[in-house]
Amino acid sequence: MSTLRKILVSKDISCKSVWFMRQAGRYLPEFREIRSQNQNFINLCLNSELSSKITLQPIKRFNLDSAIIFSDILMVPYALGQDVKFIKDLGPELSEFNIEKFLENSEKEFSKKLKPVYKAIEITRKSLDRDKSLIAFIGAPWTLLVYMLNIKKNKFEIDFNKLKKKDLDINKILSRLIKFLCIHIHNQISAGADVIQIFDSWAGIIPHNNIKDYCFIPNAKIVEFCKREKIPSICFPRGIKEKYKDFNEIVKPNGINIDYDIDPLWAKNNLRGTTIQGGLDPKKLLKSEKEMLEGATKYINTFKDIPYVFNLGHGLLPETDPDRVRKLIEFYRNHQ
């Protein structure tokens, strides 16, 4: 059993485990070289050989404890019939959502479209040491809905007028999304992944009155599926502040990734019965080495006597120096 699974499932505090969100990405020159020759991001994610190669780049460079498959949460909307483009400096752009087309999707066609992703997982698992986890991931239903319906105004608010259009049955859409996300989880685990991370990247912009219906319940249904299938799950409901406590008590994942706005001591006192992951602000890796290591020490010391996975409160930034990542990993592993 990998160290990550030991911490998530057995809550073994004697294990040390470190990996980073976006560890296979733009901060690595070897990734940038591949990306420069593959401009279409969706096609790159569907290139099984290259996807596996990218997944393994940070493992080869840093010997991290876990690999996370190189893919994207928007592969699910793509497989459900929406065109997905990534516009430089602007982010993803999806074609207009058509509810009739969405509801007509078949399980067979969905899995067929994502077969290259599963093939990449198979290839990666064969190249990865058995003591290392291979993490698969999905976007949570709400976060996918934000992109699929194009309802985000900015980083802090959504367009509720779009959400309330008469022809949109949000509960029906969420229910169907949960179904296909569970299929995607099953397929990724069958291909060789052994842990699932659920990214609810836009949970923080859900209005207070809707947080249960749009965040807690959908995540809980997916985690319940994972538990039935004996799949360890890590949830990342980014930006929900003190609602992390309610989320943890309702959803009950094996692990919960805290963002950098959450005070680690508060997390230790309030997020009980789960493995805590992450927290360190990725911007700390852009500061002086002293500031970076002081920031890391705060998390390491706070969580030293409970199950904890060393990670960040968001993904590695493109401008991060890989040497800083190496020093941070070495510091964590050597910290007594």
pLDDT of residue 53: 98
CA-closest candidate to residue 219, choices 191, 238, 241: 238
CA-closest candidate to residue 129, choices 4, 271, 309: 4
pLDDT of residue 67: 98
Q: pLDDT 10s per residue in the chain (336 long)?
A: 899 999 999 999 998 999 999 999 999 999 999 999 999 999 999 999 999 999 999 999 999 999 999 999 999 999 999 999 988 777 899 999 999 999 999 999 999 999 999 999 999 999 999 999 999 999 999 999 999 999 887 777 788 777 777 557 888 999 999 999 999 999 999 999 999 999 999 999 998 999 999 999 999 999 999 999 999 999 999 999 999 999 999 999 999 999 999 999 999 999 999 999 999 999 999 999 999 999 999 999 999 999 999 999 999 999 999 999 999 999 999 986
Contact 331, 284 (CB under 8 A): no
pLDDT of residue 166: 53
Give me the domains of the chain, ranges plus CATH numbers: 3-334 (3.20.20.210)
Contact 258, 242 (CB under 8 A): no
By annotation, the residues acting in catalysis are 22, 26, 35, 72, 147
Cβ-based neighbour number of residue 40 at 10 Å? 11
Type of residue numbered 39: Q
Give the Å distances, CA to CA, from 308 to 16, 142, 199, 304, 332: 8, 27, 18, 8, 12
pLDDT of residue 164: 74
Reduce the DSSP state of residue 66 to 3 states and report it.
strand
Phi, psi of 182 (to 5 degrees): -65, -35
